[in-house]
């Protein structure tokens, strides 16, 4: 995807939101669904700003928008599960970013020892707790300590340039170009 000339660079001035979004879209990632339990209610939201931070101790991070309705459910010490979506789970990424009333309705999942939803068919999942929360502009960074990890051999879903991709599309278009 090529940007129009005038969106290519911002030199010597504040980086505006369009330039920032466009530039960050150059970085491919996977897609996760972060889940937790709030009283009797399961909470989950789609997050692509996810990274492994430390192996020993095992730490990872998730960035949550300050405006996210789910944010109050994520507290220091609270249990969470990070579900790394498989290549055929783009529909879940959309569902957990939508305004549907109960995002878990019709979705197959187990619960981990702390009651957090672990989605069936995910490429991998991590159960743990929130170790720290850092302020980060219009987002907060949740630093999560991993306690239990699970890995399936399924390929993960890919997210690039604001769209989800299957591996065959990506490999196909790379080969074609």
Ligand X SMILES: Cc1cc2nc3c(=O)[nH]c(=O)nc-3n(C[C@H](O)[C@H](O)[C@H](O)COP(=O)(O)O)c2cc1C
Binding site for ligand X (CB under 6 A): 31, 45-49, 63-65, 68-70, 93, 97, 159
**Shortest reach from residue 13's CB to ligand X, in Å:** 26
**Shortest reach from residue 48's CB to ligand X, in Å:** 4
**Shortest reach from residue 49's CB to ligand X, in Å:** 3
**Tokens describing residue 80:** 């969470």
87 close to 164: Cβ distance less than 8 angstroms: no
Closest to ligand X by CB, 93 or 124: 93
Burial 29-61 (b: 16+ CB within 10 A, else e): bbbbbbbbbeeeebbbbbbbebeeeeeeeebbb
**Shortest reach from residue 56's CB to ligand X, in Å:** 25
CA distance 21 to 17: 6
**Shortest reach from residue 33's CB to ligand X, in Å:** 9
Q: Collapse the DSSP code of 56 into the 3-class scheme (helix H, G, I; strand E, B; otherwise coil) and give the result.
A: coil
Closest to ligand X by CB, 33 or 146: 33
Distances (CA, A) of 28 to 31, 73, 105, 141: 10, 28, 29, 19
Count of residues making up the chain: 177
CA distance 89 to 106: 14
Closest to ligand X by CB, 6 or 138: 138
Closest to ligand X by CB, 6 or 47: 47
Closest to ligand X by CB, 51 or 149: 51
């Amino acid at each position: 995807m090529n940007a129009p000339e005038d969106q290519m660079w911002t030199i010597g001035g504040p980086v505006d939101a369009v330039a920032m979004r466009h530039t960050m879209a150059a970085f491919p990632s996977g897609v996760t669904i972060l889940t937790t339990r709030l009283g009797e209610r399961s909470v989950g939201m789609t997050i692509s700003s996810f990274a492994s931070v430390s192996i020993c101790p095992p730490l990872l991070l998730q960035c949550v928008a300050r405006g996210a309705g789910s944010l109050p459910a994520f507290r220091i010490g609270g249990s969470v599960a990070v579900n790394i979506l498989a290549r055929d789970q783009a529909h879940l990424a959309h569902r957990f970013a939508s305004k549907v009333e109960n995002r878990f309705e019709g979705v197959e999942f187990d619960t981990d020892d702390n009651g957090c939803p672990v989605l069936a068919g995910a490429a991998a999942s991590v159960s743990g707790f929130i170790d720290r929360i850092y302020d980060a502009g219009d987002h907060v960074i949740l630093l999560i300590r991993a306690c239990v990890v699970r890995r399936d051999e399924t390929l993960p879903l890919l997210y690039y340039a604001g769209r989800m991709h299957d591996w065959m599309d990506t490999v196909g278009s790379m080969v074609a170009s």
